Amino acid sequence: MTLLHDLPSIDPDKLHAIDIKALVGPGASRYAPRILMLYGSLRERSFSRLVSEEAGRLLSWFGCEVRTFDPTGLPLPDAEDASHPKVAELRELAEWSEGMVWCSPERHGAMTGIMKAQIDWIPLTLGAVRPTQGKTLAVMQVCGGSQSFNSVNQLRVLGRWMRMLTIPNQSSVPRAFMEFDENDRMKPSPFYDRIVDVMEELVKFTWLVRDRNNALTDRYSERKESADALSNRVNQRAI
């Protein structure tokens, strides 16, 4: 559990705990929301990782259970089979999670290949189970120069394709190398405040939808289709 002294850039009088009673009804699950963090760089001082760590501390303070996937050693999609240890780890975390945070650098005007590879390794379905359908998603990016939204826009497209509930708010941190101190902690700024906003919103949406996933994602077309037919259709190798 993150404590306020672990959040030096926070105004403690303005950071409020999530009002769970206002979001869920009687009998709702009350265990900590499970959030998976994915970031898109392997650099030793990766700013997408540092932003994800800041976001993870906030999520922990808001009462979430947070896990982070390290993409080091993840093979390119289809270069190995799904039994590869890193692929299996990623897929297990995707199934475990109820929400995700995707944070990518912008490289050549787009998300990084490292970010895309992680998402590509998460299948639309495992058998008849969809590991991302109905889960919440927050998207963020870091920029080496001026502020851009190319990566978050692309991540939104992928979130929709993965049938995730992508929250309205998002974060883009320009000149990310200027936003961290010598201890790799993010300095107080409007960009940090936006990350606080995004994480707060993600937690609220996760509380709202997690007990309602089955109702929200129940579809007429899929009720007509057997589990085997669904698996064959979604997992087909060629179209």
Model confidence, pTM = 0.91
Query: How high is the mean pLDDT of the chain?
Result: 91
Would you state the pLDDT for residue 123?
Answer: 87
Nearest to 172 by CA among 152, 186, 189: 152
Instruction: Name the pairing type of β-strands 99-107 and 136-142.
Output: parallel
Residue 58's identity, in one-letter code, is: L
Q: Identify the pLDDT of residue 8.
A: 92
What are 116-137's pLDDT values in tens digits? Answer: 999 999 988 776 567 899 999 9
List pLDDT tens digits, range 199-228.
999 999 999 999 988 888 887 877 776 666
Number of H helices, E strands in the chain: 8, 7
C-alpha 92: how far from its chain's center? Answer: 14
Q: How many CB atoms lie within 10 A of CB 124?
A: 14
Helix, coil or strand: residue 22: helix
Q: What pLDDT score was predicted for residue 239?
A: 45
Q: In sequence order, what DSSP letters do the residues of 114-126 get, joined into one string?
A: HHHHHHHHS-S-B
Determine which of 4-8, 135-139, 169-173 has the lowest per-residue pLDDT on average. 4-8
